[in-house]
Amino acid sequence: MINTSSIILINLYQKYISPYKGYCCAYGVHHNDLSCSQFAKVTIQDIGLLKAISKILYRFKQCKDSNDYLQNEYENNQKNKDVKLGKGEQCGQCSCDVLNVSACFHNN
């Protein structure tokens, strides 16, 4: 029951919150992998919520590390560019807005 409830809550988050928050999962962008919410959902389905909690928390730490890396890369890249993208602008290759456009430095 708790596993099903958790998955329902993640589904609601993915449908009604995530698309409107203005950025996407840094880990997913950096590693071209599942978003943290999708990882959590799959992990809960595979091993249950109680066993999944430590794996999910570790993934969130990795996501923060990925965000730090992408932000640093973006800032370093912008130092060498004449044109800066503002927050919320898209470069045309990103599938969604990334916080501070940190993953959209690849084509500028």
Best CA proximity match to 2, nearest among 59, 44, 39: 44
Domain membership flag for residue 15: yes
Domain count, the chain: 1
Residue at 10 is within a domain: yes
> CA-to-CA distance for 50 and 53, rounded, in angstroms?
6
pLDDT in tens, 38-89: 999 999 999 999 999 999 999 999 999 999 999 999 988 887 764 545 544 4
**pLDDT score at 63:** 97
Asked if residue 29 is part of any domain, the answer here is: yes
d(CA 89, CA 91): 7
Nearest residue to 22 via CA among 88, 101, 67, 70: 88
The model's confidence at residue 36, banded by pLDDT at 50, 70 and 90, is: very high
- Say what percent of the chain tops pLDDT 70: 74
pLDDT over threshold 80, residue 92? no
Q: What is the mean pLDDT of the chain?
A: 82
Whether 60 maps to a domain, the answer reads yes
pLDDT tops 60 at residue 108:
no
Asked if residue 107 is part of any domain, the answer here is no
Whether 108 is covered by a domain: the verdict is no
Q: Kindly state whether residue 97 falls inside one of the protein's structural domains.
A: yes
Q: Is residue 106 part of a domain?
A: no
Q: Is 14 exposed, middle or buried (0-12, 13-18, 19+ CB in 10 A)?
A: middle
Percent of the chain with pLDDT over 90: 64
- What CA–CA distance (Å, rounded) separates 4 from 106? 39
**Domain interval for residue 19:** 2-101
Q: What is the pTM of this model?
A: 0.71
